[in-house]
Amino acid sequence: MTQAVASSVVVRVPGKINLQLSVGPKESDGYHGVVTVFQSISLYDDVTVTKEEIGAGLSLDINGDHIHGVPTDESNLAWRAAVLMCQKYELPADLRIEIKKSIPVAGGMAGGSADAAATILAIDALFSLGQTREELHGVAAQLGSDVPFMLSGGTAVGRGRGDQVTSALSRGTYHWVLALSTVGLSTPAVYTECDRLREGMKAVTPQVSDHLLQALLAADPVALGKSLINDLQPAACSLRPALRLILDVGGEYGALGSIVSGSGPTVAFLVSDEDQALDLAVALTSSGVVGSVMRVSGPVPGARVTDVH
Ligand code: ATP
């Protein structure tokens, strides 16, 4: 029996929040070393990659509610991922990429990196390349520091630029309320502001938080709430002072922990269960300081093929 050849592959990929984001001093190449603990959450983009006729070239189409600011040309991270995969494995670059976006754009949830990871996995499946996870991680790391984690998902510690990923033991499910902003924050601008705020301060080499890892191991959301760390939070709040108001509302309504996600401006509130998530979501919505609110949980698995035809 001959095996049917796939012409289209769909990959579902989650966004992430950083439970810890500790930022080292700026290095000579302008980048910062980080130690981060990622958790992927139940908010997904769906990326479909379809073979086109010879000579068609690459094309990209995006749909969804919040797609303002997402490029549809070769600067899109998914497009760049397709180019890299086609070059590396000598594949015909006649492909259509469709992204159904739910991960907020420029929200500190690595939506672009997620789409790149999904495209890598989709092309691997579409051409039956059968590459190992390690091999695909190598391709992912060339596209951006968050891309390797988006392939594996779950809970992981990222070192270096965040691209040296090792999975972390985590028990239980954590419930989050996300306060989304309609206007994103630029990651480079937030790092620049972080450097400015730290001027004259002694540089510290970041370490992963034992308290945080213990909390995850013990499935203890109260301890996790107290262990959330984001060194970029002061910079994000400095550029977007309204974030402080949003963080305060979470505290008033009993969130176990509140943190700006990555470079912001999404704010993530850890709550004890789905009921508290609903209460806090209502309180945030009626406070008038939040654009929109979502309830999610994590960890969830990383990018995975959901349909082949
Ligand atoms: P970071 O990974 O730096 O934390 P982020 O999560 O804050 O980023 P993204 O949604 O990844 O933000 O988008 C950052 C910028 O990347 C966007 O403003 C957009 O110009 C560009 N971009 C390129 N490709 C994509 C993509 N597939 N989805 C979203 N943004 C993209």
- The predicted structure's pLDDT at residue 40: 98
Percent of the chain with pLDDT over 90: 83
Residues 90 and 230 in one domain: no
Residues 196 and 156 in one domain: no
State the closest ligand 1 atom to the C-alpha of 78, by its place in the atom list counted from 1. Answer: 27
- The predicted structure's pLDDT at residue 4: 62
Residues 130 and 243 in one domain: no
When the pLDDT of each residue in the chain is averaged and rounded to a whole number, the result is 94
d(CA 290, CA 180): 7
* Residue 3 domain-assigned (yes or no): no
| Nearest alpha-carbon partner for 162 in 150, 145, 181 | 145
Question: Which residue's CA is the closest to the ligand 1 atom numbered 12?
Answer: 106
d(CA 23, CA 100): 32
Q: Which range marks the domain in which residue 21 is found? A: 8-169
Percent of the chain with pLDDT over 70: 99
Residues 159 and 200 in one domain: no
Using a 6 Å cutoff on CB, does residue 158 contact ligand 1? no
User: Which tokens in the block code for residue 115?
Assistant: 């789409």
pTM value? 0.93
Residues 165 and 185 in one domain: no
d(CA 309, CA 306): 10
- The predicted structure's pLDDT at residue 295: 96
Using a 6 Å cutoff on CB, does residue 47 contact ligand 1? no
CA 238 to chain centre: 22
CA 15 to chain centre: 4
Number of domains in the chain: 2
Pocket probe mutation, ligand 1, options 105, 109, 149, max atoms within 8 Å of Cβ: 105
Of 115, 145, 169, the residue at which a domain comes to its end is 169
Q: Is the pLDDT of residue 1 over 60?
A: no
Task: Please check whether residue 193 is in contact with residue 177, taking contact to mean a CB–CB distance below 8 angstroms.
Answer: no
User: Which tokens in the block code for residue 98?
Assistant: 């469709």
Determine the Cα angle at 67 with ends 304 and 154, to 5°: 30
Determine the Cα angle at 145 with ends 196 and 304, to 5°: 140
Distances (CA, A) of 20 to 129, 162, 294: 35, 11, 21
- Report the chain's terminal Cα–Cα distance, integer Å: 18
Residues 54 and 144 in one domain: yes
Question: Which residue's CA is the closest to the ligand 1 atom numbered 19?
Answer: 70
* Residue 43 domain-assigned (yes or no): yes
| Residues 26-83 pLDDT 10s | 888 888 999 999 999 999 999 999 999 999 999 999 999 778 889 999 999 999 999 9
Which whole number is the average pLDDT over 174-194?
Answer: 93
Residues 286 and 213 in one domain: yes
The position carrying tokens 């419930």 is: 175
* Residue 210 domain-assigned (yes or no): yes
Residues 178 and 165 in one domain: no
Residues 181 and 288 in one domain: yes
Of 146, 169, 192, the residue at which a domain comes to its end is 169
Of 128, 153, 169, the residue at which a domain comes to its end is 169
Query: Please, which pLDDT band fits residue 178 given cuts at 50, 70 and 90?
Result: very high
> How close is the Cα of 253 to the center of ligand 1, in Å?
31
Which whole number is the average pLDDT over 139-165?
Answer: 94
- The predicted structure's pLDDT at residue 50: 98
**CATH label of the domain that carries residue 117:** 3.30.230.10
Query: Please, which pLDDT band fits residue 184 given cuts at 50, 70 and 90?
Result: confident
| Nearest alpha-carbon partner for 168 in 39, 280, 287, 24 | 39
Distances (CA, A) of 89 to 53, 120, 129, 135: 19, 11, 8, 12
- The predicted structure's pLDDT at residue 121: 98
Question: In 61-132, which residue ranges form alpha helices assigned H by DSSP?
Answer: 77-88, 111-126
Residues 165 and 180 in one domain: no
- The predicted structure's pLDDT at residue 3: 54
Residues 109 and 15 in one domain: yes
Residues 146 and 187 in one domain: no
Question: Which residue's CA is the closest to the ligand 1 atom numbered 4?
Answer: 108
| Residues 239-289 pLDDT 10s | 999 999 999 988 888 899 999 999 999 999 999 999 999 999 999 998 888
